[in-house]
Structure 1
Amino acid sequence: MYERILVPTDGSKVAQAAVDQAIDIAEKYGAEVHALFVADVDAVAYGLGTEQVDRIKQGNFQGMTDLREDAQEATDYVTERAEAADLTAVERHAGGRPHDVIADYTADNDIDLIVMGSHGRSGIRRALLGSVTERTLRSTHVPVLVVDYVED
């Protein structure tokens, strides 16, 4: 049923909860797990020049140590969890409008299921879902499993 599962991640606790769900499903189906970190260019563009924004859109975070480290840490978490479950993992870093990048990645890689957190690292939460999650639901026809994180 599921051959490729996408986990968009920003490294937040809710994203890590989504990883746990994705790994559980992937184990049942022997699915490949894709970890995608998207730098939101709308959020970072104000302090950067056009050249830097273009590099971010290409997934090149060279010279942006904090962003590169955040991206690597977030996707490494997914890969480590997948490999511990004897699953294949694919990591990708990109830049753009997150919901657009997620939808494009989904289409380009024949993703069968998206598993993502209900809201991201920003901590700003809409009444029900984070804006990226809500927009992703509207931007793709692939099933989306939305996971919330509840602290113990």
Structure 2
Amino acid sequence: MYDRILIPTDGSETAELAVERALAIAERFDSTVDTLFVVDTDALELSLGTEQVDRVRSGRFGEMDELEATAREATDHVVEAGRERDVDVSAHFRAGQPHKVIADVAEDHDVDLVVMGSHGRSGVRRVLLGSVTENVLRSTHRPVMVVDERGEDD
């Protein structure tokens, strides 16, 4: 049923809840898992400038050790959690608009299910901050399971 599952992660507590849910599904269906950390280049460009963003887009973090450490920590956690459950997990790093990258990776890897967290923002906070999860739902034709910050899926 689910041969390949994609778990986008930013390392947050909400993402970790989605990781646990996705790995339980992968374990049950003997699925292969891809985990993905996306560097939001729009946000990065505002704070660092075009030159740094171009480096990240080409896969070079340069002097941004903290960003690279965050990305590796988030995906390494998924790989290790998968290993503990005897689930094969491949880690990926990409740069771009998160919802577009997630949708593209889901398509490119022919995933059967995307499992991701949502912080459950509503009202003005959601309008101002946007919702990566909501945009993924609009950007992909792949099934998406959304796990909210209480660990419940929608």
| TM, length-normalised to structure 1 | 0.90
Q: Could you list the structure 1 runs, at least 4 aligned residues long, displaced by more than 3 angstroms after superposition.
A: none
**Count of matched residue pairs:** 147
Identity %: 52
* In 2, Cα distance between equivalents of 1:126 and 1:56: 31
**What RMSD, in angstroms, separates the aligned Cα atoms of the two structures?**
1.9
Task: Give, in angstroms, the shift of residue 41 of structure 1.
Answer: 0.8
* In 1, Cα distance between equivalents of 2:42 and 2:139: 18
Task: Give, in angstroms, the shift of residue 44 of structure 1.
Answer: 1.2
Secondary structure of 2:76's match? helix
Secondary structure of 1:45's match? helix
* In 2, Cα distance between equivalents of 1:85 and 1:12: 21
* In 2, Cα distance between equivalents of 1:149 and 1:57: 30
Quote the residue 1:9 is aligned against.
9
| TM, length-normalised to structure 2 | 0.89
* In 1, Cα distance between equivalents of 2:62 and 2:92: 15
Secondary structure of 1:86's match? coil
Contact persistence 1:62–1:68 (CA under 8 A) = no
Contact persistence 1:58–1:94 (CA under 8 A) = no
Q: What code does the residue aligned with 2:91 have?
A: E
Quote the residue 2:18 is aligned against.
18
Residues 2-151 of structure 1 correspond to what in structure 2 (within 5 A)? 2-119=2-119, 125-127=121-123, 131-150=131-150
Q: What code does the residue aligned with 2:15 have?
A: A
